[in-house]
Structure 1
Amino acid sequence: MPGALKAAPFIALGLVLVTLPHHWRVRNIATLSIIAWLSAYNVMYGVNAVIWDGNDGIQASVWCDIVTKIKIGADVGLPGCCLCMAKRLNRIAYGLEMSPRGWRHRTLDILLCWGFPMIIMALHYIVQGHRFDIVEDIGCIPAIYISWPSILILDVSAFILAILALVFCALALLKLYRRRVAVRVMLNKPDSSLSPSRYLRLMIMTFILGTWNVVLISVSASNEYTSGLQPWTDWAFVHADFSFIGQYRNSTFPAPALRCLYLLWWAVPLSSLSFFAFFGIGAEAMRDYRASASWVGRVIFRQQSTLAPVGLDSEDLYPAFAPPTKQYIPRHIRPLPPLPYDVRAFNRV
């Protein structure tokens, strides 16, 4: 298990980044944000698994201060990204959005994917009873003072976003079933940024990620609040001994709590794998792979490509060998160009 903990996040990171070129061209804020949050998750989990392999020692404290805050933001950012995607797919199913998105929708996407998570990262300090905790093999995790403010700030906010994403997905699926012919016609238009297959993949992936988020939030909350809530008296009481760092060996956890901890950990690589399955093995991805391989061969290994550039025919590359077209004028009826010398002088010679 420790070996898998170290390898799985880096493999998942590579799979997620493979899909980046295509989504970068499309410039969909929600999907790019999902890639960013999943990549941050995998980097944090992979580095933590390497540093705290078989130990719970206090080391890399500044790293832990940073990654625990990022994890708080990612826990809210991913449901927010799913909500943005679900809203857009719902608008397309209703025939309200087939052109590039306006600044209002882009601003809302940025707020849900990045603005709101940053607010939650700042509010986490309210329920941060001490600096952070370190768990054997898993590494540093955020410290949370389990109380009613932590439920409102961390759990309810993420749960509402995930539920809204499922609601918009359900509405989009219902409308898509009723207007499937009209939606297919719209998606097949030349100015459409989505193909029918890509639309369906986005819909399924959003629904799966939204459901997965709801399940994970529910499992995490049930594990945290099993022993009840701690009393919330005042700020000084909650933040007393704030510099404390908790250290926990795996043997100190009850078996159900340890299983829940590993389930939440493995959820990130599995989410990354599902994202790759939807966008990393399609026809669009294969074209990206061929283009990347051609670039590596041309730039790094200095190989000259024998393939014609996209959009050029053999007539464009070799016009001298192009066959005559309908507008071809035989040579014997073309006007002759002026000669570059004097014919009379040539005849005198």
Structure 2
Amino acid sequence: MARIHPELVPISFIAAFSLFLALPWHWRARNVATLSIIFWLFTVNLIFAVDSIIWGDSIDIIAPIWCDITTKLIIGSNFALPAACLCICIHLEQVSSVRAARTTSADKRRRQIFEACMCFGLPLLFMALHYVVQGHRFDIIQEYGCRPATFVTVPAIIIVWIPPIIIAVAALVFAGLALRHFMLRRISFAAHLDASHLALTTSRYLRLMLMSVLQMIWSISITAYVLWFTLSTSRVHPYISWANVHADFSRIDQYPSLFIPQLIQNTFYASWWVIPASTFIFVAFFAFGREAVDEYRHAFRWVGRKVFRQKSNDTSGTASTKQLRQLKLPSFTNSAKEQPPTPLSSFPPSYRIPTPPTPTKFSAQFDEVSFGDVSETSSRFGPALSYQPPSESVITLASATELEEGSAPSTAATLAFVQPLQHAVPLPPLPRDTRPSSSRPLTYPSYDRARRGGS
């Protein structure tokens, strides 16, 4: 018997291993809900791939223990994925509301425990409850492999199909509330996320919310369709007793493709696509974000260093730490002992410090300058105060390097007054209106009589 859908195996493997693209960031963030989505999608995709390989062209009972385990895991995934999206939407609604202004480590731990119970405890509970309505061990469908068997009764509808729809609708409600909070706080939303001390940004927030909404719409649509198709093609049996339901429990039903109606085959094919499509939706939102691109870059660099022994070249336009430590600032002095700075060829762009121009040597001729009659100044303050400069003054500008090394200053940085001064330059007299009227020593530059005690 030839395969009708040969694409099932490669699509299942591609979907399963594509989840590793989004795994590193979520693993570091310790987000239990998203990690559970990755776990359940990877597990079911791997089951679908193996089942398509084993039963691609046969319906033989080859691995019954494998089928007993995998059929229960398929039942659990029907509850785990909506529950994980519900946890994500609840968390997003709490973050965007005023109730989560600040998140502590205790709050994060309680949230992780709640998400673990919802994403793993709840599926385990319904996996056990499925045994209540399980009429026989499992079914084997050609090309699709093992599938869980359910005895269609009212308790089966309540246990198997209604809870996933209720969980998905609750997730949509919380997603709507989170979107409402976001619209009200859209101006200061980034600052609010930063104040909450969470590894969330506005981009991640929106991606999580949109992913959850799409997953829930997709899950509700397929689950409602499968429920409608089951009720329209099968009769709802009364649940008489436990013994009546499990009367022939060890039976394994086998369905070759040749005897399956086309409508039922299309339903099997559509329900098979639920898991791969959910995987691709998840990967599309989280495998091409900025944090994922950074992870790919680090992974390629690690492979290049460890496998191909390549040296890491920094082509981002910035200097490495070692180059910054070797950087030597140039000096503007012309000292003979100073070596020119070593150019950094890896610095883009290269530059050259121009040599400063040599200062011009100039001279100043001071003639005898008279500041008027100083006889009155001499009579009140003693002999006239005067300043006699040296016959030749030399003012030298030396660099810090020359001062530390004790070397002679460079002649290019010397300013000289080469003309001697022949006469003393007396100080100018005080203005007449500011001279003190008392012969007492001047102690404070104030001439107000009130401040001098009225004298």
TM-score range for the pair, normalised by the shorter chain length: 0.7 to 0.9
> Which of these residues, 87, 109, 116, is aligned with residue 115 of structure 2?
109
Task: Sort the Cα spacing of 1:317 and 1:123 in 2 relative to 1 into closer, same or farther, 3 A.
Answer: same
Matched, 1:65 2:68: yes
RMSD value over aligned CA atoms?
A: 2.4
For 1:153, the equivalent position in structure 2 comes to: 159
TM-score, with length taken from structure 1: 0.88
Matched, 1:126 2:116: no
The 2-side partners of 1:166 and 1:220 are apart by 20
For 1:340, the equivalent position in structure 2 comes to: none
Q: Secondary structure at the match of 2:188?
A: helix
The 1-side partners of 2:248 and 2:179 are apart by 51
Task: Sort the Cα spacing of 1:271 and 1:331 in 2 relative to 1 into closer, same or farther, 3 A.
Answer: farther
Q: CA offsets per residue over residues 62-103 of structure 1, 9 Å max, x none?
A: 111111011111110000000000001111221333535433
The 2-side partners of 1:110 and 1:334 are apart by 69
The 1-side partners of 2:405 and 2:235 are apart by 97
Matched, 1:22 2:25: yes
Q: Gaps spanning 5+ residues in structure 2: where?
A: 331-398, 407-455
Task: Sort the Cα spacing of 1:128 and 1:322 in 2 relative to 1 into closer, same or farther, 3 A.
Answer: same
Matched, 1:230 2:233: no
For 2:47, the equivalent position in structure 1 comes to: 44
For 1:94, the equivalent position in structure 2 comes to: 97
The 1-side partners of 2:260 and 2:121 are apart by 35
Q: CA deviation at 1:315?
A: 6.0
The 2-side partners of 1:304 and 1:159 are apart by 54
The 1-side partners of 2:137 and 2:404 are apart by 87
For 2:283, the equivalent position in structure 1 comes to: 276
Task: Sort the Cα spacing of 1:32 and 1:331 in 2 relative to 1 into closer, same or farther, 3 A.
Answer: farther
TM-score, with length taken from structure 2: 0.68
Q: Secondary structure at the match of 1:130?
A: coil
User: Residue 31 of structure 2 contacts residue 112 of structure 2 at CA under 8 Å; is this kept in 1?
Assistant: no
The 1-side partners of 2:213 and 2:166 are apart by 15
Task: Sort the Cα spacing of 1:332 and 1:272 in 2 relative to 1 into closer, same or farther, 3 A.
Answer: farther
> Which of these residues, 81, 94, 97, is aligned with residue 84 of structure 2?
81
For CA contacts below 8 A with separation 6 or more, give which structure has more relative contact order.
1
Higher helix share: 1
Q: CA deviation at 1:188?
A: 4.8
The 1-side partners of 2:138 and 2:224 are apart by 22
Q: Secondary structure at the match of 1:96?
A: helix
For 1:182, the equivalent position in structure 2 comes to: 188
Q: CA offsets per residue over residues 4-27 of structure 1, 9 Å max, x none?
A: 011101011121121101111111
Q: CA offsets per residue over residues 115-156 of structure 1, 9 Å max, x none?
A: 000111111111111110000100000011111111121112
The 2-side partners of 1:335 and 1:72 are apart by 84
User: Residue 95 of structure 1 contacts residue 183 of structure 1 at CA under 8 Å; is this kept in 2?
Assistant: no
Q: Which amino acid aligns with 2:322?
A: L
Identity of aligned residues (%): 37
Q: Secondary structure at the match of 1:3?
A: coil
Q: Secondary structure at the match of 2:309?
A: coil
The 2-side partners of 1:223 and 1:334 are apart by 94
Matched, 1:7 2:13: no
The 2-side partners of 1:233 and 1:191 are apart by 55
Q: Secondary structure at the match of 1:232?
A: coil
Q: Secondary structure at the match of 1:246?
A: strand
Task: Sort the Cα spacing of 1:133 and 1:307 in 2 relative to 1 into closer, same or farther, 3 A.
Answer: same
For 2:396, the equivalent position in structure 1 comes to: none
Task: Sort the Cα spacing of 1:62 and 1:331 in 2 relative to 1 into closer, same or farther, 3 A.
Answer: farther
